[in-house]
Amino acid sequence: MDLIGLKPVGVPYWLTSKERRQNQRVGTVIVAFKTEKEANTVIRYSISIAGLRLKAEKMLRTPRTSQCSRCLGFGYRDIKCLTAFKCRLYAEEHSSKQHKYRA
């Protein structure tokens, strides 16, 4: 599929600070498109940046007050969490779903 003609809106930017990226091997760049159709095309077929073919996915905005149901951290969703489970009843490393009676 030819992706020529798709143009980002604004300036793409890193999700993390330059200092934090110093020791990272991978990172996230935010790229916005004018239409949802253009964004979905990039998500479906990937994007090429600096000669590398990269995976693209829709950014899910999560309020800072949202709590991860996996690790109980704030500001992100459990679907992307790689941290160990933390029980909301006992703060131990197991899922709260293991308990018969839930708070």
Domain boundaries, the chain: 8-54, 61-103
Q: d(Cα 24, Cα 72) in Å, to the nearest integer? A: 24
Q: What is the pLDDT of residue 95?
A: 85
Residue 12 neighbours by CB under 8 Å, 6+ apart: 29, 30, 31, 32
Q: How far apart are CA 67 and CA 33, in angstroms?
A: 29
pLDDT, mean of each 10-residue run, the chain (103 residues): 71 86 87 90 86 86 79 81 84 81 56
Structural tokens at position 72? 């109980």
- pTM (global) more than 0.75: no
CB 14 within 8 A of CB 26: no
Start-to-end Cα distance in the chain: 50
pLDDT of amino acid 1: 41
